[in-house]
């Protein structure tokens, strides 16, 4: 495992146990810091470098790799050449500098969705933590120019929404989420609306098509990397549990049972879990799944959706092949493949620990299967890889492992951290806003005051945002969005540096040969050559001259 709880070089520390991504396995909205992602949301690209310059030297301790994981992939550097330089620049060293690396990404079949960086959020759905901090996520994502995904069940759990005979007449929470993103959308990025079984029954697609047209990308869902059942939330009100039960959800325990109601009244039961349904239970073969999928896509197109995506979880190889083949046949715009190690706002813990295919193995097979289709002359659907990413080196590795098919990297928990952190800072500095922004602090902790006491001191990217939108509009920006931009800036700068070292100055130049495996097992499982084998034949020719 790459990450210890404490990183002395960067001056960061994890509050809890560390996941492969570098985040704590349990990430708290009220955390006072300071993991690498938390601190990056304040100081930005400064955290790319060791602390206390002039007093220290630093040395890596991540060179002895054990097991198969993204950490066991390393990034290849080159001593000559440059690829993907803009037409307005030359290959002169004065032009071939890392700030000139172009991170502009795009995906899509007929209509291209552009993004300023190759990042998108995971699905932020009906979990309360997604709702509470949505303003920060949406405004931050729109300002950065990256896509954001509204997850499943948002309409279904909204007590203010109105659904009659499968037709939505009112969906205030969904409207709020879409409208906040579109307020700052400037042509880069995009807003996805994801649907599961209940959303399909409730008429979410019809509502979005009628009200928003093609401003939204509609996303079908086959699961996620954190669990192999439908999405869950937890509620502590029996009235709300009964409401969700009447909305057609599975609620556990059943709040309609007299014995459950009595147990709740006595305090023996204090919460209820709302579950979504499994999809495809009425289908018994690959052919039937394909037929049903194609009919669904055709229906969505008939509603007017010109951009459609699919999100699939860490199922086995048959489901992976189905997802890639069917999405390519249907000419979808994006397929997000979420491996185990993916995050969640609510999942059974031991299920998260034990279910599905780990991300690196699933993504390696995705490239293999995509290559099979491409060899037959078929255009392969654009891919997005998800499942436990938080840092810039992971972005590079994921793009390289799936190249040339992978256009985006999907981050879930990592890009939520700045939303919490910014809201906590805003609530502490402005107590009158604390409840509105869902702040958790009464005062700034030392981990923040060591950096600054006002937002223009605390957030390294404050003045970059101000330059984009102006001083007056800056007053309307949630502090969580400022933190979001600051984290994105750090990830972008780090990715530019890695790409420059690989002599790749645009994203479409990244290749699988830009990474190598640090152990033989990883090489065998991924098809990525071992580091001591890469270019060995060319090395021997040089020596033989």
State yes or no: pLDDT of 230 exceeds 80.
no
In tens, the pLDDT along 154-188 reads 998 999 999 988 789 999 999 999 999 999 999 99
105 sits in which H/E element: strand 105-107
Arithmetic mean of pLDDT over the chain: 95
In tens, the pLDDT along 78-137 reads 999 999 999 999 999 999 999 999 999 999 999 999 999 999 999 898 888 899 999 999
Structure tokens of 506? 């645009």
Res 448: pLDDT: 97
State yes or no: pLDDT of 311 exceeds 90.
yes
> Between residues 129 and 468, which one has the greater pLDDT?
468
Backbone φ and ψ of 86, nearest 5°: -60, 150
Q: pLDDT category, 300, cuts 50, 70, 90?
A: very high
Rounded Cα distance, 309 and 337, in Å: 11
State yes or no: pLDDT of 72 exceeds 60.
yes
The pLDDT of 147-154, averaged and rounded, is 94
State yes or no: pLDDT of 346 exceeds 90.
no
- Residues 365 and 345 sit within 8 Å (Cβ to Cβ): no
In tens, the pLDDT along 25-63 reads 999 999 999 999 999 999 999 999 999 999 999 999 999
- Residues 395 and 409 sit within 8 Å (Cβ to Cβ): yes
Res 408: pLDDT: 98
Rounded Cα distance, 65 and 400, in Å: 19
Structure tokens of 7? 């990183």
Q: How far apart are the two ends of the chain, measured CA to CA in Å?
A: 42
Res 225: pLDDT: 86
Res 166: pLDDT: 76
State yes or no: pLDDT of 327 exceeds 90.
yes
The pLDDT of 461-485, averaged and rounded, is 97
Q: pLDDT category, 279, cuts 50, 70, 90?
A: confident
Q: Tokens 């084998």 map to which residue?
A: 533
Structure tokens of 38? 């938390």
State yes or no: pLDDT of 255 exceeds 70.
yes
The pLDDT of 143-160, averaged and rounded, is 94
Q: pLDDT category, 268, cuts 50, 70, 90?
A: very high
Residues with Cβ < 8 Å from 137, sequence gap 6 or more?
A: 121, 124, 130, 148, 415, 416, 419, 480, 484
| Alpha helices, H only, 1-64 | 36-43
Rounded Cα distance, 135 and 180, in Å: 7
The full length of the chain comes to 545
Q: pLDDT category, 317, cuts 50, 70, 90?
A: very high
- Residues 502 and 76 sit within 8 Å (Cβ to Cβ): yes
Q: pLDDT category, 352, cuts 50, 70, 90?
A: confident
In percent, how much of the chain has pLDDT > 70? 100
Helix axes 286-302, 317-329, angle to 10 degrees: 40
Res 1: pLDDT: 53
Q: pLDDT category, 231, cuts 50, 70, 90?
A: confident
The pLDDT of 392-408, averaged and rounded, is 98
Backbone φ and ψ of 470, nearest 5°: 95, 160
Res 495: pLDDT: 98
Q: pLDDT category, 277, cuts 50, 70, 90?
A: confident
Rounded Cα distance, 321 and 222, in Å: 13
* pTM of the shown model: 0.95
- Residues 507 and 104 sit within 8 Å (Cβ to Cβ): yes
Rounded Cα distance, 131 and 437, in Å: 11
Rounded Cα distance, 224 and 340, in Å: 8
Rounded Cα distance, 19 and 25, in Å: 5
Rounded Cα distance, 516 and 529, in Å: 5
């Amino acid at each position: 495992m790459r990450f210890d709880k404490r990183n002395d070089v960067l001056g960061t520390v994890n509050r809890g146990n560390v996941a492969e991504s570098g985040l704590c396995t349990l990430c708290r909205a009220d955390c006072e810091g300071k993991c690498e992602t938390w601190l990056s949301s304040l100081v930005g690209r400064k955290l790319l470098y060791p602390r206390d310059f002039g007093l220290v030297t630093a040395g890596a301790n991540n060179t002895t790799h054990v097991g198969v994981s993204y950490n066991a992939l390393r990034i290849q550097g080159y001593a000559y050449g440059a690829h993907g330089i803009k037409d307005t620049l030359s290959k002169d060293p004065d032009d071939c500098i890392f700030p000139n690396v172009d991170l502009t990404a795009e995906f899509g079949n007929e209509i291209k969705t552009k993004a300023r960086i190759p990042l998108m959020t995971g699905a932020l759905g009906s979990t309360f933590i997604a709702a509470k901090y949505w303003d920060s996520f949406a405004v931050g994502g729109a300002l950065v120019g990256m896509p954001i995904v509204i997850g499943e069940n948002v309409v279904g759990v909204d007590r203010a929404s109105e659904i009659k005979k499968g037709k939505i007449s009112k969906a205030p929470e969904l409207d709020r989420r879409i409208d906040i993103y579109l307020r700052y959308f400037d042509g880069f990025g995009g807003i996805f609306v994801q649907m599961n079984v209940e959303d399909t029954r409730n008429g979410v697609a019809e509502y979005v098509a009628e009200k928003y047209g093609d401003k939204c990308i509609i996303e079908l869902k086959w699961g996620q990397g954190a669990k192999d059942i439908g999405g869950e939330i937890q509620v502590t009100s029996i009235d709300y549990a009964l409401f969700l039960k009447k909305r057609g959800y599975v609620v556990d325990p059943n709040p309609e049972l007299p014995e459950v109601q009595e147990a709740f009244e006595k305090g023996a039961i204090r919460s209820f879990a709302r579950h979504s349904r499994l999809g495809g239970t009425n289908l018994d073969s690959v052919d039937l799944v394909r037929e049903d999928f194609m009919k669904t896509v055709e229906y969505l197109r008939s509603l007017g959706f010109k951009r459609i995506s699919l999100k699939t979880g860490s199922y086995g190889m048959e489901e992976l092949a189905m997802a890639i083949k069917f999405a390519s046949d249907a000419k979808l715009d994006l397929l997000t493949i979420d491996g185990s190690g993916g995050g969640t706002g609510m999942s059974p813990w031991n299920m998260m620990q034990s279910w599905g295919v780990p991300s690196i193995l699933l993504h390696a097979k995705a490239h293999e299967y995509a290559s099979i289709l491409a060899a037959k002359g078929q255009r392969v659907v654009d891919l997005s890889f998800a499942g436990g990413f938080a840092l810039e080196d992971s972005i590079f590795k994921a793009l390289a492992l799936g190249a040339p098919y992978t256009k985006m990297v999907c981050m879930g928990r990592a890009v939520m951290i700045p939303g919490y952190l910014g809201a906590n800072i805003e609530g502490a500095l402005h107590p009158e806003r604390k409840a509105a922004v869902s702040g958790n602090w009464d005062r700034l902790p030392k981990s923040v005051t060591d950096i600054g006491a006002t937002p223009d001191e605390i957030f390294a990217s404050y003045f970059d945002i101000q330059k984009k939108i102006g001083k007056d509009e800056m007053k309307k920006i949630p502090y969580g969005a400022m933190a979001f931009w600051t984290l994105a800036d750090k990830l972008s700068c780090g990715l530019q540096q890695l790409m420059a070292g690989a002599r790749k100055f645009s994203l479409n130049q990244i290749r699988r040969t830009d990474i190598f495996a640090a152990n033989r097992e990883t090489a065998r499982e991924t098809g990525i050559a071992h580091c001591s084998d890469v270019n060995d034949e060319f090395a021997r020719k040089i020596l033989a001259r």
